[in-house]
Amino acid sequence: MERINESSFFSDKENDVPDMINYDENHLNNSQIDQDVSYFPDANVSLESERDLNTTLNDTIQLKKNLGETFDQLTKPGQSKPGSFRQSVAEKIHEFEMKPANTLSFDSYESESEPEPKQFSVYLRLRPTANSDNTIEILPKTAVDGRSVQKIRTHAPASSHSFKVARAGGSSILKEFEFAEVFPQDASQEVVYERTVSPYINGVLAGESGLVFCYGITNAGKTYTVTGPDKTLTSDSVNQSWGLLPRALKHLFELCHNNGTQNLSLHMSYFEIYNEKIFDLLSVETMTGRTAAHMKKSLHSISLHRVPSLADGLSFISQAKTNRRCATNSINKESSRSHAICQIQVLNKSSNIKSNLWIVDLAGSERSKRTGGARQQEAANINMSLMTLNQCLEGLRSSAGDKKNAVIPWRDSKLTRLFAAHWMGPYANRTSMVINVNPAASDFDETQHVLSYSSVARNIDTSSIPKEKAAPSVSVEYDNNGHRMVSGKPTFSQKIVNAIKKLSPHRFNGSRKRKENSDDHDAKPSDVFKYPVNNKKIRTEVVEGDEKIAPRGSSSTDQKEINSLRMKVSVLEVENQMLKTQNDELQADVDQLRDQMESVEADVRDEVAEEMESQMRAMSQQYDDIIEKLKLQMEQLVSSGAVASARKLHPSRGEQKIAELTEQLEECEEEMQRMRKDQEEQIAVITAKYEEEVSKKDAELQSLREKLEKVQKENEVNSFAIKVEKGSDALVREEGGCSQGSSPSNPILLDDTQSTFDSFDVEVLDEKNTQQIDIECSPDPAFPLSRKDKNPVRHPFEVLSSNSRSEPQLEDCWMKPNATLKQDPSTGFYLRPKGRKPKDAEYWDKNRGAWRLSVAMNDL
């Protein structure tokens, strides 16, 4: 495997415009491309002079009109002398006018005889999908205007945005797209190769370039189509999973081998455009870490490697695949984050003709929301360059159609600069676009965008693209004054110089030769002719140049003057014409830029609106999902009987409030219980104390009672009953004190002691009944009662009332309370009812359980 010069195989100095791969005479050394040589990849050095002449022819024809009669006269065959410059120009004009375009032939290979299509060949490949989404229906093949056509019909799934838009707008959810051919999900790699790349191989060997690129959203199968799975690239025996690239290499080697051609050699470069920077995937430097060493300033510094065998080619592919920038996104585990471009170059050493087969695996267009936020910058760059590509396709279609002045933004991305070279060249029609599509319903909306661009590409009629379109965008970067050209267009002075070149090519060539010989590095075309023409030196040069054109023998001063004036007029005419053209062009440019801006603005607005809408839809979907999930969880919890815990996990506000209140309630209850307990304890203590006190008091009471009894007994001892016989047999018994009153006429001597009693209740007993008679008496100190005398003693006394008198009954002197009476269990006494003492009551009799009425006493 031979590694050839890695420095700069493209020619442009600064601006990355790709050029043909230039070899020097030894074929393998790159050379700086001459600024005047067209940089189309398919051009070659041997064609340079012919191409120059071709250009001269066209320009001469143009100038013919400008210079009018005079020029016609001057260039008429027969009027110029044989061997003169004019004669040679006239002959060359004739020769080129007779020669049909594009009839350059190469030694060993002839281009395929079948008619080349005028349009890009756009294919659709569906990748297998695990689910049974049937979003794309393949319709039978047909032929339209001699072109094989196959249509598909897309069915917007109900989940898609397109479906909703169609429904809302009342349009159909079905859409049809047309392709050269559609490869179904089970189409083999071989079939795809046979239809897309194989038809270009013979042409490539015959010097005609071809470009094949795979386009689609992420995870649609582009890398699979271009290279196939990595592991299959280890052996050079063909594997059925091989993609387009290994198959193309094999095909090329087979054809070279079968034809025994020694003068063809294959070369390969492989690079990626990542974030608008170029990285050489076959660089000698190790790719680990991917430092600045791998980043190339321009496409021209990409390394080109000789490919001596298929095995070497496969190894290059593997190396490039390893070095390519991949990342895992949420859709594709190994998503390519860059545009990978492989250039296979065939060099015919004998003719020094080079042709290229470009196979391009574009990065997947994608929505950052689907692929994840971390890769947004990448996604933005990928989408930007794909958008520029789409704009260029649009521009090509427009310029091939009714908008001849359509501006094509080739320079807006590195990718389109690369493609511009091919599409503005003679083999633009040898372009195949493979649209990779994943028919899954989830990809439907984004796939629709891709499909709509495919129909743009399909409608580009390459034969109608005005060739001058190429000039402004892709011609050399510097004018002949050494100044950089604005927007790739020739400057005004360049146009003047070109005009002079046409008027006096030998003069100009002489000047250029001097420059090339480096003897006079400063000899720029501007030194030969500088606008405006009234520069004396220039005028002299022009006149001198024209002297050679003037017929011999007519070199008189007049003739010179005439010629000089004619030339001046011609130059002024050219200038005038050019100013007009320039003005028109500028006006057209302004109009188109305005149109373009408006359409870009509208596109961006649509895009933003769509993006926002889809984001909102996604958010709403997310919320729906969350709600569904929660519902499901709730149901599961209910069914598993864990509602309470579920409520704890996800309480509603009401439930939370209830739970709080319940908790508070429980706390209150606890507090109350605690308080109750405390109270009970206190009550128990108090009760115990009380009982203790009570029992103490009882004891005291008991002792008092005992004392009382004792005293009573003692009193009993001191008291006595007086029995008074009625008449003679009444007995009197002492009952209590008596009120102060009139003392008895016969005071009773109750005791021999000093009695404190001043009244007596006397019971008067008779034989039949015993009556109580209250007797008022006053003690008579003269008859003290003797304590010791326990026997009733008959004493004289006076009965104050007779017992025959109707006396109030005993019961009448007592009033029982209405309330149920309680007895003291320990003593058996009736407890005095609560409340006030009744008005007429004197005291409470605990034995009787009744109030003693004072009325009764008074009534006595």
d(C-alpha 454, C-alpha 628), whole Å? 40
Q: Pick the closest to residue 411 from 479, 488, 491, 299 (CA basis).
A: 488
Tokens, residue 32: 């700086």
Shortest Å, Cβ 217 to ligand ATP? 7
Q: How far is the CB of 125 from ligand ATP (least distance, A)?
A: 7
Tell me the residue number closest to ligand ATP, measured at CB. Answer: 364
Size of the site for ligand ATP (CB under 6 A): 17
Considering only residues 162, 209, 336, 381, which one is a binding residue for ligand ATP as defined by CB under 6 A?
Answer: 336
Among 57, 220, 499, 762, binds ligand ATP (CB under 6 A): 220
Does 757 bind ligand ATP (CB under 6 A)? Our answer is no
Task: Please state the closest distance from residue 160 (CB atom) to ligand ATP, in A.
Answer: 20
For the CB of residue 398, give the shortest distance to ligand ATP in the complex, in Å.
28
Instruction: For Cα atoms 629, 632, 636, give the angle at the middle one, nearest 5 degrees.
Output: 140
Contact by Cβ (8 Å): 435, 124: yes
CB 768 within 8 A of CB 757: no
Asked whether residue 223 is marked as a ligand-binding residue, the answer is yes
Q: What mask of x and - would describe binding to ligand ATP in positions 148 to 187, judged by CB under 6 A?
A: ----------------------------------------
Three-state helix/strand/coil letters over 552-614: CCCCCHHHHHHHHHHHHHHHHHHHHHHHHHHHHHHHHHHHHHHHHHHHHHHHHHHHHHHHHHH
Query: ∠ at Cα 627 (626, 629), nearest 5°?
Result: 65
Residue type, 774: D
**Interface characters, 93-132, with ligand ATP (x: CB under 6 A):** ----------------------------------xx----
| Nearest of 327, 520, 354, 507 to residue 425 by alpha carbon | 354
3-state DSSP assignment of residue 450 = helix
Placement of tokens 């993609």 in the chain: 243
- Which residue lies nearer to ligand ATP by CB, 371 or 504? 371
Do the beta carbons of residue 173 and residue 155 sit within 8 Å? yes
Q: Is 216 annotated as a binding residue?
A: yes
Residue 41 interacts with ligand ATP (CB under 6 A)?
Answer: no
Rounded Cα distance between 508 and 337, Å, is: 49
Q: At closest approach, how far in Å is the CB of 582 from ligand ATP?
A: 44
CA distance 597 to 766: 150
For 475, which DSSP code? S
- Kindly state the smallest distance separating residue 418's Cβ from ligand ATP, in Å: 19
What pairing do the DSSP bridges indicate for beta strands 724-725 and 277-280?
A: unpaired
Subset of 358-417 contacting ligand ATP (CB under 6 A):
363-364
Residues forming beta bridges with residue 571, ordered by sequence position:
none
Residue choice 44, 119, 219, 381 for contact with ligand ATP (CB under 6 A): 219
Q: What is the 3-state secondary structure (H, E, C) of 374-423?
A: HHHHHHHHHHHHHHHHHHHHHHHHHHHCCCCCCCCCHHHCHHHHHHHHHH
Contacting range for ligand ATP; rule: CB under 6 A; set: 251-259, 327-335, 663-671, 680-688: 327-335
Give, as one character, the DSSP assignment of residue 517: T
In this chain, which stretch among 138-146, 201-209, 218-226, 344-352 interacts with ligand ATP, using CB under 6 A? Answer: 218-226
CB of 450 to ligand ATP, least distance (A): 11
Which region, left, alpha or beta, applies to residue 597 given φ > 0 means left and ψ of -120 to 50 means alpha? Answer: alpha
For ligand ATP, the closer of residues 324 and 458 by Cβ is 324
Selection from 39, 358, 354 nearest residue 208 by Cα: 354
Which of 417, 391, 406, 480 is CA-nearest to residue 40?
Answer: 417
Interaction between residue 223 and ligand ATP (CB under 6 A): yes
Which residue number, 22 or 438, has a Cβ lying nearer to ligand ATP? 438
Q: Within 10 Å of residue 790's Cβ, how many Cβ atoms?
A: 10
Query: Applying CB under 6 A, which of residues 218, 388, 391, 494 lies at the interface with ligand ATP?
Result: 218
Q: Is 562 a known ligand-binding residue?
A: no
**CA–CA dist 104, 243 (Å, integer):** 32
Q: In whole angstroms, how close is the CB of 337 to ligand ATP at the nearest point?
A: 8
Listed ranges 333-341, 418-426, 477-485, 560-568: which one lies at the site for ligand ATP (CB under 6 A): 333-341
151: its two tokens: 């249509």
Q: Which is nearer to ligand ATP, 106 or 224 (CB)?
A: 224
Q: How far is the CB of 220 from ligand ATP (least distance, A)?
A: 4
Query: C-alpha distances in angstroms, 816 versus 761, 797, 813, 843?
Result: 23, 35, 10, 12
When the beta carbons of 216 and 472 are compared against ligand ATP, the nearer one is: 216
- Give whichever of 335 and 718 is closer to ligand ATP, judged by the CB atom: 335
175: amino acid identity, one letter: K
Q: How far apart are CA 146 and CA 457, in angstroms?
A: 19
Q: Is the separation of the CB atoms in 446 and 160 below 8 Å?
A: no
How far apart CA 720 and CA 737 sit, in angstroms, is 13
Which residues 6+ apart lie within 8 Å of 182 measured at CB? Answer: 123, 124, 125, 126, 138, 150, 152
The piece of 101-109, 213-221, 386-394, 754-762 that touches ligand ATP (CB under 6 A) is: 213-221
Contact present, 67 and 573 (Cβ < 8 Å): yes
Q: Which token pair is 417?
A: 């600069």
Residue 221 is a binding residue for ligand ATP (CB under 6 A): yes
Which residue's CB is nearer to ligand ATP, number 440 or number 503? 440
In the complex, minimum distance from the CB of residue 242 to ligand ATP, in angstroms, rounded to a whole number: 12
Looking at beta carbons only, is 127 or 507 nearer to ligand ATP?
Answer: 127
User: Could you give the CA distance from residue 768 to residue 771 in angstroms, rounded to a whole number?
Assistant: 10
Q: How far is the CB of 375 from ligand ATP (least distance, A)?
A: 11
Judged by CB, which is closer to ligand ATP: 211, or 363?
363
Residue 334 CB, nearest distance to ligand ATP (Å)?
Answer: 6
Q: Is 715 annotated as a binding residue?
A: no
Q: Which stretch binds ligand ATP (CB under 6 A): 330-338, 455-463, 555-563, 583-591?
A: 330-338
581 is in an annotated binding site: no
Part in contact with ligand ATP (CB under 6 A); list of ranges 220-228, 263-271, 501-509, 775-783: 220-228
Only one of the segments 90-98, 331-339, 442-450, 620-628 lies at the binding site for ligand ATP (rule: CB under 6 A); that segment is 331-339
654 annotated as a binding-site residue: no
- Least distance (Å) between residue 32 CB and ligand ATP: 36
Q: Which span sits near ligand ATP by CB under 6 A: 212-220, 317-325, 620-628, 803-811?
A: 212-220
Distance CA 398, CA 460 (A): 8
User: Which of 28/327 has CB closer to ligand ATP?
Assistant: 327
Is 219 annotated to bind a ligand? Reply is yes
d(CA 336, CA 687): 93
536 is in an annotated binding site: no
Site string for ligand ATP, 258-297 (x = CB under 6 A): ----------------------------------------
Strand partners, 433: 122, 213
Identify the bridge partners of residue 138 per DSSP, sorted by sequence position: 152
**Of the candidate residues 71, 85, 163, 224, the single one contacting ligand ATP (CB under 6 A):** 224
Residue with smaller CB distance to ligand ATP, 217 or 497: 217
- Kindly identify the residues of this chain, within the stretch 434-463, that bind ligand ATP according to CB under 6 A: 436
Q: Which contiguous run of DSSP H or E holds residue 305?
A: strand 305-306
Residue 361 CB, nearest approach to ligand ATP (Å): 7
**Residue with Cβ nearer ligand ATP (58 or 185):** 185
Which residue ranges are tagged as binding site for ATP? Answer: 216-223
Which residues of the shown chain bind ligand ATP in the complex (CB under 6 A)?
127-128, 216, 218-224, 332, 334-336, 363-364, 436
Which residue ranges are tagged as binding site? Answer: 216-223
